Chains A and B, each alone.
Chain A
Amino acid sequence: MSKIRRIHSMLIKRQISAAELTKAYIQYSVACNDLLNAYITPCYETALNNALKIDNKIANGKELPVLDGIVYSLKDNICTKGVRTTCASKMLSDFVPPYSASVHESLLHSTLIGKTNMDEFGMGSTTENSYFGRAKNPFDLQCVPGGSSGGSAAAVAADMCVFSVASDTGGSVRQPAGLCGVVGFKPTYGLLSRYGLIAFASSLDTVGIIAQSAEDCNIVFKHLCKYDPKDSTSVRLSSDMTECKKEIKIGVFTGNGIHVNDNVRKALHIAVKTFEDCKIAVETIDIKGIVNSPGIYYIVSSAEAASNLGRFDGLRYGYCNNNYKNFDDMVIRNRTEAFGREVKRRILLGNFVLRCDSYDNYYKKATLLRNSLEKEVCDLFQEYDFILSPVTCHSSYKANEFENDVTGMYASDYYTVFANLCGIPAISVPTHLTEDGKPVSVQLTSGKFKDDKLLKMAELLENHLSLRLNPKIGGDCLGI
């Protein structure tokens, strides 16, 4: 099942060289990207250089770690030194960071093939909010790949890269993975360093991993999971944090059927049946606090985003229109001209909820509700080891579906935001294809720091289902 292990085996057995591997992925990417617009900035030349270094290493008989030479992509909000990092925004369209994110530095021996398309600054669920044009779903070019990590999910689904490292603030890794038929994993908040991840909502942003299997997500996660002194919210994982009970019990949360269509119901059914076949106890549960969770999420994330994006004034870096009268005029011009509509919307909303006359009714109230949701979920995880739920409310939809229905789009995050609000790990796993050939997934979550157990449960599900999803565009670069 694990593509990473298969490719690694081929490399050490010298069945394929790193250069050949990379060239194959480059050719595939060139063809797919024209159709999918998954990469904002392809990195083909540096990818080949990296591959040559790996081939040298192999030729010298040196030991090859499992991720060396594996082709991967990075969401374009993760800083790469010397390589443009745009957050899919006009504001940063020429921004070249002088430093790299910690997670990128951890992957220096893997082969970076491209920076992926996304919703601007992480705000959106369709990757339509990109200054560089929308990305497409490899299963249906008319449809969206989800967001905000749509480019990453599309690239992995089309096999333009073996895995992608992206970010998940309210579902941005799990939802696009779900719409593109691949696995999307969001670890416990604090386990993967945020240093170098351009901030959207600091208390919710989590570096996540998208791959074709939970097993591959696990391999990348283990490699990236380390304490980082540059990130004050970084947590050191110790063995006593990861312990689990022996008898597993899964709670199924369906939100009383609100917001789900038949395809999603079927996905849940498939998952439940799998667990029951494996003699794992499954019970229906309710999470009362989830009904408020989109509201809490949009208040908290917009407030933090408005603050995080305040720095973009064009003075030190970023877009600058040089026809200004004074500093205030410069700031207004630059931000008006270089931010997209959704970004502006969230900044206005965020600044509103932080105003001294609305703070108590919005931000403070949202924080209190968040705390009680966290407690409710934490209590549930005393009794249940995992919670099974939908990821999205429906399978992929056509572009512009939510053009005039912003709150409708916000409401579609119903099942994913609670994992970010509570800081718990969560993963989306595909279960089947709809009649019109679109993937549907389910979501598994667990208590904090039980990431390894969660990944193992996801592996159990995917091994049992043994799905092979073939997108219309790409899907099998090496033919393995």
Chain B
Amino acid sequence: MEYKMTIGLETHIELLTNTKIFCSCLTTYGGEPNTQCCPVCLGLPGTLPTLNKKVVEFAVMAGLALNCKINNYSGMYRKNYVYPDLPKAFQITQGPVPICENGYVKIGEKTIRIKRIHIEEDAGKLIYENDSILADYNRAGVPLLEIVTEADFENESQVRDYLEYIRTIARYLEISDCKMQEGSLRCDVNISLKNADCDERGEKCEIKNINSINNICKAIKSEFARQKSILESGEKITSATLKYDEKTNSTTVMRRKETNSDYRYFPEPDLPLIKISREEIETIRETMPELPTARFNRYVETFGVSENAIKSFATIKRAGDFFEALVVLTSDPMMALDVINSCIFRFFETEDEKYDFVLPVQSEEIAEVMNYCISGKLPRQHLKKVILKMLETGKKFSDLYSLQDFEMFDIESTKALAEKTLKDNPLVVEDYKNGKKKAMSSLIGYAMRESNGKADIKVLTEFLEDACLNKQH
């Protein structure tokens, strides 16, 4: 009996608004506990929510990027339940009519349907310390978008591609930084198995609180195996909420069934309907940042760069911005590409660092060095070394070097250098004459060391090769 997976995802992304969804507290991550709270987000008696307009704008942007229909009217609802991280004992979320619905995402050949995108507030965080449970409400009221797909995924590889795509889009639009380890991207997985022959889907199970995309993929594989073995032994699947244990690579039923309650949803009486007109939607569409695919295509067309060369940073908005800045300042897209791929990206260690793209030097300073190359004042072979040094020290060119350091040997000096090299390395010359092409590299290396890199490699190589040939004669 062959089984196929059907998977649906509920993804939450924390929005990068300056302030929370219903009050003016800051949303910055990692603050001292309970320092980013006020009577409103703490739900003190008598306080009322007021909606942050930026949240609506971000939701519309996400909806447009994911090909959704944007509803002109949508309402906020109360989801009532009791838990220490929920100050009002209800979460303000949306109800049957969300702000965006019926969109889609193309992952290669596969289309994943987006059922809905809605706005809601985050709860606080619970910290378990010795025997106590401590509540930190800094996160309570941070705006979230919840993106719900239909059960269209067939395997964990599609899930990975989808999540990476959502992350790329959100980062491109600058609506969320989608860092799973910081909780600004969270994903719950709904998975059920169906018999490969018939179309009937089995009971679904939900896996929550998985902290990385890799673990999501592992959890899916693990859950597939678990459900498969239950079905193969003739049993039925009982719908449950599970968590994924990294250490044992297994999915287990959670002790506390949080999703079992009746949430007693009803319309939020303290907030009017969210109204957004067709004109407002068009304005947002027009002022939205360019999406990765569009940018990718534009670079290929405008700058004539190869797809391979820009693949590495097509998904990183700030890298593209930097690339364009360098092009404006130097008019040399190929050199700019090279600088980004070989220097800038070597400087960053992690994916998140690449995304944050925080450099110790400005684009103007990098462009200055590039322009020296273009004008011939700095030999091309030194560009990479110089830029890496600048990145390492955070200093600009004039604080590290002067152009005189790079003055190249003139023709006479280069010729003399070539002759000295040949004279000092008779054995290597022999090897070269006997057919060992690699010996040339040794000769060049020797010459460069002797000259402290001031010889022009091209000219030097020509002299060395000619001299060897000449001597042969």
Contact = CB atoms under 8 A, between A and B. Distances in A.
A92 B265 CA distance: 27
Given A232-B50, A317-B44, A327-B84, A310 B272 contact: no
Contact of B45 (A79, A203, A303, A354): A79
Interface stretch (B85-93, B303-311, B394-402, B465-473): B85-93
A310 B88 contact: yes
B270 A233 contact: yes
B80 A310 contact: yes
A231 B48 contact: yes
Interface stretch (A48-56, A137-145, A191-199, A403-411): A191-199
23 contacts: A92-B45, A97-B44, A97-B46, A99-B39, A101-B46, A194-B48, A196-B46, A199-B46, A202-B270, A230-B48, A231-B50, A232-B51, A233-B272, A304-B269, A310-B80, A311-B89, A317-B44, A327-B133, A331-B82, A354-B80, A356-B262, A359-B264, A359-B266
How many chain A residues sit at the interface, stated as a range, is 35 or more
A61 interface: no
B42 interface: yes
* Most chain A Cβ neighbours within 10 Å, of B44, B45, B264: B45
B89 to A, nearest CB: 3
B46 A198 contact: yes
B379 interface: no
B253 interface: no
A175 B370 CA distance: 82
Nearest to B262: A356
Contacts of B269: 202-203, 233, 304
Contact of A351 (B39, B43, B264, B272): B264
How many chain B residues sit at the interface, stated as a range, is 20 to 34
A205 to B, nearest CB: 9
Given A232-B271, A313-B82, A195 B46 contact: yes
A355 B264 contact: yes
Given A202-B269, A203-B269, A355-B264, A232 B48 contact: yes
Given A232-B270, A363-B266, A311 B39 contact: no
A254 B70 CA distance: 48
B284 interface: no
B445 interface: no
A311 B87 contact: yes
Contacts of A479: none
A315 interface: yes
Interface of B: 39, 42-51, 78, 80, 82, 84, 87-90, 133, 135, 262, 264-266, 269-272
Contact of A315 (B46, B48, B84, B264): B84
* Most chain A Cβ neighbours within 10 Å, of B50, B133, B271: B50
Nearest to A194: B48
Nearest to B88: A311
B285 to A, nearest CB: 27
B90 A310 contact: yes
A195 B45 contact: no
A235 B80 CA distance: 27
Interface in A312-331: 312-313, 315-317, 327-328, 331
A307 B46 contact: no
Contacts of B265: 354
Q: Give the top 3 A-B pairs by smallest Cβ distance, nearest first.
A: A310-B89, A354-B264, A203-B269
Contacts of A253: none
A348 to B, nearest CB: 12
A78 B39 CA distance: 15
A232 B87 contact: no
A327 B80 CA distance: 17
Nearest to B34: A316
A329 B78 CA distance: 24
A102 to B, nearest CB: 10
A197 B46 contact: yes
